[in-house]
Amino acid sequence: METKCSLWGTALIIATLLLLLGALYVRPAVEPVSHGVYYAELSKAPFDPNGNPEAYRILTPLIAYLTGLRGNRILILNLILTWALLAIIYRHYRTHERSAFPSLMRAAMLAFSMPTLFTIHINGYTDAASFLLLFLLFVNGERALLSGALLLLAMLNHESVLFLAPFLLLLQAKAGVPLRRSLPILIVSLALYGVIRLMLSLQVVVEYSIGYYLQPLLRDPFYWIKKASQAYYLGFCTAFKLFWLIPLAAVILLWQERRYRDMLLIVSPIVLSMGQAFLAIDTSRMLSMAFPAILLGIETLEERFEAARLEPALLGLCGANLLAPQIYVAGNAIYTMQTLLGWLLRV
């Protein structure tokens, strides 16, 4: 296929097939819900938010506005961004001396877990752009200036990416970028974000501001954690389901080899994503940001096992993961994502 269609063409075909399979596994959204309604409204006039509570998270609505995918058509934009992410993942690993099958498995594991399934089934949020930017940050750790620009864009899309800032610094350190260079760039990105956010705040009082999340903590430091504590373990497990076994196996191997720095690199995106529980309750979505741990885990296993043993295991893991229903957890609310077939039969 790569010979006939080129690497990019093959990547786009694979991304299309994976997205279609994901849409069979969970029913595609037909209209924005919850916070997605605010983003859809913001996409009609991103610089005239008119009291929109999501006015600070402007990047995805702005792209929707510029591309004409405004209002409910923001759902289409998010699917395009997710499609691009899956294609870029496949192409990136194929161009970095990976064979086709492991590259496909990496894309498939993102396609059949919460980072993609949430966009397909719930949609309307800004997650698709966040995950695309996070992957670009993940694979460009050696380019400090580019990482700074990508981080700024990611913060303008959703400020939660800041939780992963220590992980991004670790990535750059592993890539050979000294802290004395990466840290100032991070600070400049934060400063620019602060200026842009201040300019946006002059136009509208935003409900979901820093104060919204921090004020309850003055009364109870564990306020948000308590609101999600009963179902948190389920939200954690179902974000990637059996795919969690990959970073777990990698961490065990690295611990045995006393490669603690590499182990920290895998553990940090998981722990930092969990840290969002101090400020928010959308467990499944928050844990989705830990997907670099899955990719790093596969890389660790590839270094230690032959392809003939590892590739069937990865394929089996993908198949087994699809046998379990996809559950979405927000706070203590538990929701099973409906399959497309189940929805059609019900209709």
| H helices present in 202-279, as ranges | 210-219, 223-228, 232-240, 245-256, 260-274
**Rounded-to-integer distance, Cα 106 and Cα 28, Å:** 22
Segments forming the whole domain that contains residue 328: 2-346
The one-letter amino acid code at 18 reads L
| Predicted local distance difference test score (pLDDT) of residue 31 | 92
Buried-state track 284-316, b at ≥16 Cβ within 10 A, e below 16: bbbbbbbbbbbbbbbbbbbeeeeeeebbeebee
Could you tell me which of 157, 122, 156 has the C-alpha nearest to residue 31?
122
Q: How far is CA 194 from CA 183, 188, 310, 322, 347, in A?
A: 16, 10, 45, 42, 48
What would the pLDDT profile of 120-152 be if each residue is shown by its tens digit?
Answer: 999 889 999 999 999 999 999 889 999 999 999
Reduce the DSSP state of residue 133 to 3 states and report it: helix
Cβ neighbours of residue 341 under 8 Å, at least 6 residues apart?
24
Side-chain-facing half-sphere of 224: CA atoms under 13 Å:
18
pLDDT at 256 over 60: yes
Could you tell me which of 205, 140, 209, 128 has the C-alpha nearest to residue 174?
140
Could you tell me which of 240, 225, 224 has the C-alpha nearest to residue 288?
240
Strand partners, 329: 334
pLDDT at 347 over 60: no
pLDDT at 37 over 80: yes
Terminal C-alpha separation, the chain: 38
Confidence of residue 338 (pLDDT cuts 50, 70, 90): confident
- Note if the pTM is more than 0.75: yes
**Rounded-to-integer distance, Cα 292 and Cα 269, Å:** 7
Could you tell me which of 89, 78, 157 has the C-alpha nearest to residue 117?
78
| Predicted local distance difference test score (pLDDT) of residue 209 | 66
How would you class 165 by CB atoms within 10 Å of its CB: exposed for 0-12, middle for 13-18, buried for 19 or more?
middle
Strand partners, 335: 328
Structurally, the chain folds into a number of domains equal to 1
Confidence of residue 207 (pLDDT cuts 50, 70, 90): low
What would the pLDDT profile of 50-101 be if each residue is shown by its tens digit?
Answer: 888 888 899 999 999 999 999 999 999 999 999 999 999 999 999 887 788 8
**Rounded-to-integer distance, Cα 247 and Cα 230, Å:** 25
State the greatest distance between any 2 C-alpha atoms of the chain, in Å, as a whole number.
Answer: 63
**Rounded-to-integer distance, Cα 135 and Cα 89, Å:** 8
Indicate left, alpha or beta for 333 from its phi (over 0: left) and psi (-120 to 50: alpha): beta
What would the pLDDT profile of 265-291 be if each residue is shown by its tens digit?
Answer: 999 999 999 998 888 888 999 999 999
Chain mean pLDDT for the chain = 90
Q: How far is CA 137 from CA 134, 147, 157, 263, in A?
A: 5, 6, 14, 19
**Rounded-to-integer distance, Cα 256 and Cα 178, Å:** 28
